[in-house]
Amino acid sequence: MQKEVNYTLSGLGPSLDQFLQEEQQQFPHLSKALLPILSAIAAAGKVINDVVRRLDLVGIVGSRGVHNASGDEQQHLDMMAHHRFVHKLAATQEVCATISEEAEDILAFPHGCGDYVVALDPLDGSPNIGVNASIGTIFSICQRRSSQSVPVQPEDVLQPGSRQLAAGYILYGTSTMFVYTACHGVHGFTYEPSKGQFFLVHRAMQMPQSGHTYAINDGNFDTFPSHVQRYIRQCRSRGYAARYTGALVADFHRHLIQGGIYLYPSTRANTAGKLRLMLECNALALIAEQAGGAASSGQQAILTIQPQSIHQRVPMYIGSASMVQDLLAGG
Ligand code: F6P
Ligand code: MN
């Protein structure tokens, strides 16, 4: 007879909502709006998790046959996630606008209703959807700069990453995790479906200063800048492991836990790099820096770049501080 595997859920850490409340008490200067905004993002993430866990059964796989503002092929789940996050954020009444990889322009909510702007990549790594591999959601929160009495202005949205109040991601991997920072350390939570809640599993995460893993699309090697080619050769000669999932969130998470570097340089096909500054890079750069890691475009720290447009792309090198440093030193 087969032995049953037993596990218990005793000794669970605080739930995400409890943790957010505690953080608010510990750091009273934190905006009170962060709690409802982060809770809304987590709530939408739970719905996406439920869908992702049974994708093929509920028939939400496949392409919509159109491309998004960045030219990527849009999948049904991309749009579903986009609508779910935007809807939950609007309901908080704390958010005046969102920007999303799946919307060409700023989505402004009826004005006068909120002081915060949220940038979203609702479904990161969407080519992984049809093959049951990890995907994610990326989010970034800033306070608007103009007064609530006027409609949302471009400068409310086009803010450098250094002005983020909070940022994070949800990783739909072997388990579903919510990782965020409100600029007081990085904390990670695992979703427990039987309780419908995220519970703390990593408090004050620290990215190892170095690692033995690098993530890059090696198929583009011949078109990388020469200093990146040199750095990759160095990684190979040191016997580092190449690990590339095709979902930035999943590769970044590996490096947050184990150390490593993710690189998306300029290539022949994407001369300004592929990743979106406001929708992907800023959030992960804030997490990296808060955890002791680093993120650079090769020219400057990602967080110092003044965005010119909401879908702006940028090369990005992100991960363990000493590996990013080695890359910047010329490989
Ligand atoms: O969102 C952009 C993205 O899908 C990342 O998640 C991923 O790391 C990268 O693009 C993959 O791009 P490529 O297929 O060009 O390697
Ligand atoms: Mn993405």
In the chain, what are the domain boundaries? 16-202, 213-329
Q: Tell me, yes or no, if 289 is annotated catalytic.
A: no
Least confident of 9-13, 140-144, 263-267, 301-305: 9-13
pLDDT band at 87 (very low <50, low <70, confident <90, very high): very high
Given the DSSP bridges, would you call strands 176-181 and 166-172 parallel, antiparallel or unpaired? antiparallel
The per-residue pLDDT for 331 is 67
Whether residue 126 contacts residue 248, with contact meaning beta carbons closer than 8 Å, is answered with: no
Q: Tell me, yes or no, if 123 is annotated catalytic.
A: yes
Is the per-residue pLDDT at 7 higher than 80? Answer: no
How far apart, in whole angstroms, are the C-alpha atoms of residue 304 and residue 297? 10
> Which residue among 137, 268, 274, 276 is best mutated to probe the pocket of ligand 1, counting the most ligand atoms within 8 A of its Cβ?
274
The per-residue pLDDT for 58 is 84
* DSSP string covering 242-280: E---S-HHHHHHHHHHH--EEEE---SS-BTBSSBIIII
pLDDT band at 69 (very low <50, low <70, confident <90, very high): confident
Q: Tell me, yes or no, if 72 is annotated catalytic.
A: yes
What is the number of the ligand closest to the CA of 250?
1
Question: Chain-wide mean pLDDT for the chain?
Answer: 94
78, 94, 251, 289: the active-site residue: 78
Mean pLDDT, residues 89-109: 95
Whether residue 275 contacts residue 281, with contact meaning beta carbons closer than 8 Å, is answered with: yes
Q: Atom 15 (ligand 1): residue with closest C-alpha?
A: 217
Is the per-residue pLDDT at 198 higher than 60? Answer: yes
CATH architecture entry for 16-202: 2-Layer Sandwich (3.30)
Q: Is ligand 1 within 6 A of the CB of residue 248?
A: yes
With a pLDDT cut of 90, the percent of the chain lying above it is 86
Angle, nearest 10°, between helix axes 248-258 and 282-290?
Answer: 10
How far apart, in whole angstroms, are the C-alpha atoms of residue 317 and residue 34? 28
The per-residue pLDDT for 110 is 82
Is the per-residue pLDDT at 263 higher than 90? Answer: yes
What is the number of the ligand closest to the CA of 254?
1
CA of 237 to the centre of ligand 2 (A): 30
Atom of ligand 1 at shortest range from CA of 215: 8
Least confident of 72-76, 194-198, 273-277: 72-76
Is the per-residue pLDDT at 288 higher than 80? Answer: yes
Atom of ligand 1 at shortest range from CA of 262: 8
Q: Is ligand 1 within 6 A of the CB of residue 125?
A: yes
Instruction: Output phi, psi for 310, to 5 deg.
Output: -75, -25
Would you state the structure tokens that stand for residue 168, as one six-digit string? 């994070």
The per-residue pLDDT for 60 is 73
The per-residue pLDDT for 4 is 65
CA of 249 to the centre of ligand 1 (A): 10
Pick the CATH number of 213-329 from 3.30.450.20, 3.30.360.10, 3.40.190.80, 3.40.640.10: 3.40.190.80
Mean pLDDT, residues 132-146: 97
pTM: 0.96
The per-residue pLDDT for 6 is 65
Sign of CA dihedral 176, 119, 97, 78: negative
Least confident of 68-72, 192-196, 214-218: 68-72
* DSSP string covering 178-200: EEEESSS-EEEEEEETTTTEEEE
The per-residue pLDDT for 5 is 66
Which residues, 6 or more positions from 153, have their beta carbon under 8 angstroms from its beta carbon?
144, 145, 146
